[in-house]
Each structure stands twice: as C-alpha cells, then as structure tokens.
Amino acid sequence: MIYLDHNASTPVRPEVIEAMRASLADHPANPSSLHREGQRARAALERARAQVASLVHARPDEVVFVSGGTEGDHLALLGAAWSRAARGRRIAISAVEHHAMHGAAEVLAEQGFAVDHLPVGPEGRVTPAAIRLAPGTSVVALMLANNETGVLQPLEHAVRIARDAGALVLCDAVQAAGKVPIDFDALGVDYLVVSGHKIGGPKGAAALIVRRGAPLKPLFRGSSHEGGRRGGTENVSGIVGLGLAAEAAAGELATEAPRLAALRARLEAGMRAQVPDLVIHGEAAPRLPNTVNASFPDARSDRLLMALDAAGIAVSAGAACASGAVEPSPVLSAMGVPRALAVCALRFSLGRTTAEAEIETTLAALGPAVAAARGSAAGVSGGGA
C-alpha cells in the first residue's frame, strides 16, 4: 500500500514504538506519586515536556499534555472564553477551522456566547480586512495550516488585530508542527495545539502550549495534574512517544520540508499531465510542503478514492460521503468552490515514509482511476449516488 494520507495520521516511528514499549515496562507508577518509582515516571514526563517545548520554541512549563488535538482545541477555546467571560461573551473563529474547533465553538454557543466566523478568500486565507472583531470579543481562533488544503494563515495580522482589541489568540498548529518552523514566542499567540500522531508519534497524546500568564479554566476538575490546567493521570508512555517524535521531527525539519516540497511539485506536475482540467485548491497561497487538495471534474471523490484504493494507494476524500451521497467539504465551500467541483476533491498528503518511486506509481494509476470514476459518475453535479 502506498500511503498518502499523512495529514490524517502518520506511521509511528520505529524508535517511538520502542521507547513506548520500554516506558510501559519501566514506568508502572503514577507520575504524581512521591516515591522513587513515581518520580522516575515524573522524570520521563518532564523530559518529554522539554522535547515538545523545543519543537515549537516554547518553555517547558508552558506545555500542558492532553489526549489529542480535539481536547487541546476544546480546552484552549473554552478555557480561555470562560476565563474572559466577564470581559465579553463573544468569540471569533475562522470559517476553515478544524471541525474540533467548530465543535468547541458550538459548546460556547449553547452557553450563550456569540460566535463570529471570519470568512476566507478563494485561496482559503483569512485576509486582514476580514478580521473585524465586534466589541466584547474575548478570544480569536485561527489555525496555522489547514488540514485539508495545507494553506497557511496570516497569523501575524490576526495577532496584531486581536491584541489591539484586547482579545486572546488561539492557534491550532496540529497540521503545521513538524512541517514548517514554529516559534511560539515569535507568533505571539496565547495558546497553541500540537498532536503526536501527526508527527510520527502515537494517537492519544498531544499538547496545548499556554503562554505564561494566559488565563485557562480547566475542562476537568478535581485534581491538580498539569499545574491544575488538565486533570487526570497523564498517559506516560504515550507522552514519552510524543516527546521523542517531537524531537525527531525538529531534527529532520530542515531536510524533510524541502524534500516533501519537491515530491509535491512532481506530484502536481504529473497530475496536470494526466488530468489537464484538474483544479488545485489554494495553489496560489503559501501551503504546507506536503499537501495537495485537488478536484478532478466529473470524478466524484468517493469513486475516485475507491479506484485508487483498489490500485493500492491510500488518499483522503475532500468531501464527506455517507448513505450513497456526497457532501462538499465545509472548507472548500467556505473558499467558494462550486459544489460540483467540491464533491470531486481528493487530498494527497505526503510524509517522511513517502518515496519518489511511490509518487511515480501513483501518477501511473491516476489517469485510469479518474477515467473509471468518470465512467460511473452520473449525477455528480447533484452529489447523488
């Protein structure tokens, strides 16, 4: 199988598997226990905290371990909004945030908060002119890189505008970590989320970076874990894996990013040669070096995905498929992509295991796969079965 779905999840690094196996055997104690075994587990936890901090140029005491990007988004958005409720019960998030952030915003809406959605242009970026914050806005959420298109957002503008309005800034950097350099201090955001399984680490281990002094009310109460910011005994072995993956990703970034960018360029050029009428979404915007989101007109995404899967190539549909119907991605809809084109989108996301030969094999399979999908694609424009 040629795996081109690294934005969904990455293969766990072999050294991470070994480190986690050793941790499961060697760290049986609760890291909050004061005896020797507990302190050995605590030392492993703090070593991982420093490794994660180094990846994003933060301070170790700013790292809060959580279970995943979804929890990190919820803890940051809810925890910040609750802390600032006296100032204003209003938040703003971009229209192309990950669905986890939209879900957190829905929780706040149910609690009486107003939620404003910042629009994006055709390339998927929030323009400075679009960041108009209503009075009482307490938190602004803007991701660093979109998980579907790879488009990078102009965070520097958002941070400046939010600061002028007295609002806190939350950045979901789950897709960006390990693919582009991240400097938490330089970004100027108050909260930043990263996740292990996007950088060769395990699922179920992630981190929320909280700037010193930034307010944060916890989701889970009744314990003082993670400095009182996230209750619950830490997943020591998972966090050990997260830390080692963060260290490895940081060490490889300078060489891996240009390698992936070259593979992406070859993939896009070959795709155009095979399918001249394809559309690459966000092509003119700054993007992650590993991500291609493309629509193949008249080849519905579910059918094309299955044709590629039959050829041994794993990619992701750029649309939601259920009950025989295809719905366009909310991200592509927010970018103004017509429905008939949006339901024909696939995401190809490369990673550290992707080889040049795999790109060539994918390109060889793509033309026949598109032809097969188009041959069975009656009713594409309506999104029906």
Known catalytic residue: 344? no
Annotated catalytic residue within 95, 253, 306, 321: 321
Amino acid, res. 52: V
On whether the CB atoms of residues 66 and 72 are closer than 8 A, the answer is yes
Give Cβ neighbours of residue 276 (< 8 Å, ≥ 6 apart): none
Q: How far apart are CA 25 and CA 16, in angstroms?
A: 14
- Quote the tokens at residue 49: 């905290």
| Secondary structure (H, E, C), 45-92 | HHHHHHHHHHHCCCCHHHEEEECCHHHHHHHHHHHHHHHCCCCCCEEE
Render 104-164 in DSSP notation, one character per residue. HHHHHHHTT-EEEEE---TTS---GGG--PPTTEEEEE--SB-TTT-BBP-HHHHHHHHHH
Helix (H) or strand (E) holding 322: strand 319-322
Q: How far apart are CA 242 and CA 139, in angstroms?
A: 28
On whether the CB atoms of residues 91 and 81 are closer than 8 A, the answer is yes
Secondary structure class of 214 (helix, strand, coil): coil
Q: How far apart are CA 343 and CA 215, in angstroms?
A: 41
Q: How far apart are CA 240 and CA 49, in angstroms?
A: 9
On whether the CB atoms of residues 4 and 354 are closer than 8 A, the answer is yes
Question: Which 8-state DSSP code applies to residue 19?
Answer: H
Q: How far apart are CA 326 and CA 328, in angstroms?
A: 7
Q: How many CB atoms lie within 10 A of CB 243?
A: 30
Q: How many CB atoms lie within 10 A of CB 29?
A: 16
Give Cβ neighbours of residue 260 (< 8 Å, ≥ 6 apart): 179, 289, 290, 350, 351, 354
Which residue numbers are catalytic? Answer: 321
